Amino acid sequence: MRVVNIIAITALVSLVALWLGKYKYFSKKNAVLITVLCIGLGGGSLLAAVLPNTILDTNIIVGREIKDSPGNKIITLTFDDGPYSPYTQQILEALKRADIKATFFMVAEEAEKQPNLVKAVVTAGHEIGLHANEHKDYLKLSHEEAYEEISIGKKILERLTGQPVKYWRPPHGFKDTTVFSVAEKTGLTIVNWTVSPRDWTGISAEEIATRTLQDAKNGNIVLLHDGDSPKKQASRIETIKAIPLIAKDLREAGFNFVTVTENINARK
């Protein structure tokens, strides 16, 4: 069942229970108990859908800690919401200087407008996954709408890259049964994250790097941004400045940088 439907049903049941309790069709205590249970069910469903690392994520690659891997630790940098000129180009330059291969989750309608940027990402040896065709909240789309959006986006990126697209990160990391069904139907693996320094909030490069390091564990996936979909207004300069700091800090802590595919293969 869709999360929005669960929330609507639990809200309705709560209102009915409170109304019945008010007019003494059953005790106010039972009415309050039913209301509390409904709020818990609705709120829990919403949290499971919107948080990147919850019980639902057994269906998702989220970069959980690898505890039994010998040798050096691994970590994956991922970039969402691009391509977005000039910041995607500058991030590519920063990654090249830092000798890091990353994974970019692209918005297909933006990629189609900037095919040279998509080509530059591929040529640099980075991995491309799908973020969306248009940057929408997939919890609000019907199954048919979501399937059409993802199918279109996947085809656009595959045409632009000349490579199969294997991974999908839904906008905001939101997911429910429809998102899982669409992923399965389109042959995509959903990839969320375990580390988010919240680089989109206007914090400094130093703070982005500090937050990344303090939360980093072997096998983690880091959420960063090269784009600003759908608004296309925010600067990504601080994220660009953070890349050499992240590279230095994490390498000193014993981490190697890998793509999502390499991260997944390390778990096999």
Angle between helices 205-215 and 237-252 (to 10 degrees): 40
Is residue 81 annotated as part of the catalytic site, yes or no? no
Structure token digits, residue 74: 């691994």
The neighbour count for residue 67, using CB atoms within 10 Å, is 8
Is residue 80 annotated as part of the catalytic site, yes or no? yes
The neighbour count for residue 22, using CB atoms within 10 Å, is 10
Q: Is 16 exposed, middle or buried (0-12, 13-18, 19+ CB in 10 A)?
A: middle
Choosing from 126, 131, 135, 225, which is the catalytic residue? 225
Residue with tokens 């933006």: 110
Choosing from 80, 81, 176, 228, which is the catalytic residue? 80
Q: Is 207 exposed, middle or buried (0-12, 13-18, 19+ CB in 10 A)?
A: middle
Determine the Cα–Cα distance for residues 222 and 105; give it in Å rounded to an integer: 12
| Catalytic positions | 80, 225
